[in-house]
Amino acid sequence: MRYVSTRGQAPVLNFSNTLLAGLAQDGGLYIPETWPQISADELRKMRGLSYPELAAKIVHLFTGNEIPEAVLLDLCQKSYAGFNHQAIVPLIQLDHNLFVQELFHGPTLAFKDMAMQLLGHLFDYVLSQKGEKITIVGATSGDTGSAAIEAFKGSNNLTVTILHPYGRTSEVQRRQMTTVLEPNINNIAVEGSFDDCQDLVKAMFADAPFRDEVQLSAVNSINWGRIAAQVPYYVYAALLLGAPDREVSFTVPTGNFGNILAAWTARKIGVPINLLCVGSNHNDILTRFLLNNDMSIQGVRPSLSPSMDIQISSNFERLLFELLDRDADQCRQIMQNFRKNNKMNIPASIWNKATENFKGMALSDHETEKVIQQYYKESAYLADPHTAIGIATAQKYRNKNIPMVTVATAHPAKFPDAIKQATGITPALPLALADLYDRKENYQVLPADLKKIEDSVRATARKNNI
């Protein structure tokens, strides 16, 4: 498998180097040069596989022959062995043809574990094969950071620095990151928004001398490895609901567009997916685009669903590249103008293509609380705020003849204040995290200043001999 940049000015890489590179050197995102395909017969043969078995087969489509399928199977089995539900990604029925797929049974109680646990093993395997060490940097709006830290803590091959917006994550989200005290982990609370954190990560990659000095890599969903590792759960749900002989639709609460891009990728490789629906909070740039072709940046406002408090949806660039028929020059120009003018000018013909299969809906915090309350009362189902937004969006767009699956992205106990406000109950943390509030924290608070951030990343790398 070979990977190209959406901006067309970076080297073409194989899977291993794409994984280690994260962001392309021209500021673009890597995407497969050609899309692998699964036939209907191949999909039928995958019915009945365990989740790790299916994941190995799907991820192998994106690694090609670089990683033997037997090795991938071993890595997948190790990755999901610690999940606290036997099905790993259980499918729950709420109503006729209305389902929730729970993606929060991993160690940090969020869907990010689905990809990050596997990425931890993939990085270690590839780095061991190459005899290399790297520095991982990432930005998080809440869940990516803790999932990355949990997956990579204690590794001898890499260090991890995670930037999170100071005071803008839930306490559970923050503590899941800052109570990990391994020497290869560095937590920075940035005085700013998630978009500031993401911009700092991109600026570090754009600083070529620094990037090379610390052997920089990324595990945000700008890294294609993250997307590849998320595709399997969409395939798994589709197979359970009758694919390839029956279509299925998905609703994804998303701010950065990565999780729904994995669903779109499942469709690109041959899974019969009907609609893809985006659920947004009042930071609704994706929904505004899908409804009105308005992709203009507005100020980020805190919400009950902080993982979606985002205005710059990095992964949208990959979809744009495809909608532009892979015209990298036009993609680069649109993205550069977007950052310059805080508004993306999408030709009407491209917008029409996007809205054929993508739909969107935004909910206020008050509406989100009402949905949490409704499903707790009517179905005894406790949804976190992000998942509640997804369920409401699914209700709006579902065709009662086609199964509609909302991916449940976080355990309700990660957002106890919102749940208590909506239902009057406080969800308990699972036993493994029961003492979370008593654990010692370790993090720095720094301004959104590139030099100060780079100094901190460099110090952690040196301390770990990188």
Per residue in 3-30, pLDDT tens?
999 999 999 999 999 999 988 999 999 9
What would the pLDDT profile of 288-328 be if each residue is shown by its tens digit?
A: 999 999 999 998 899 999 889 888 899 999 999 999 999 99
Least confident of 33-37, 229-233, 426-430: 426-430
| pLDDT the model gives residue 69 | 94
Q: What proportion of the chain, given as a percentage, has pLDDT over 90?
A: 91
Look over the chain and give the mean of its residue pLDDT values, rounded to a whole number: 96
Q: What is the mean pLDDT of residues 403-413?
A: 97
Residue closest to 296 by CA, chosen among 283, 315, 280: 283
- Which one of 45, 57, 78, 112 is the catalytic residue? 112
Model confidence over 202-237: pLDDT tens digits? 999 999 999 999 999 988 888 999 999 999 999 999
* Mean pLDDT of all residues in 192-205: 93
pLDDT at 390 over 90: yes
pTM of the model: 0.93
pLDDT tens digits, one per residue of 347-363: 999 999 999 989 999 99
Q: Is the pLDDT of residue 442 over 80?
A: yes
Residue 431 is predicted with a pLDDT of 86
Q: What is the pLDDT of residues 326-346, one digit of tens each?
A: 999 999 999 999 999 999 999
Q: How many residues does the chain have?
A: 466
Q: How confident is the model at residue 38 (pLDDT cuts 50, 70, 90)?
A: very high
Q: Is the pLDDT of residue 287 over 80?
A: yes
Report how far residue 244's alpha carbon sits from residue 125's, in angstroms, rounded to the nearest whole number. 33
Structural domains of the chain, ranges and CATH numbers in brackets? 87-110+224-423 (3.40.50.1100)
Res. 142: pLDDT tops 80? no
Q: 112 catalytic, yes or no? A: yes
Average pLDDT on 65-83 reads 97
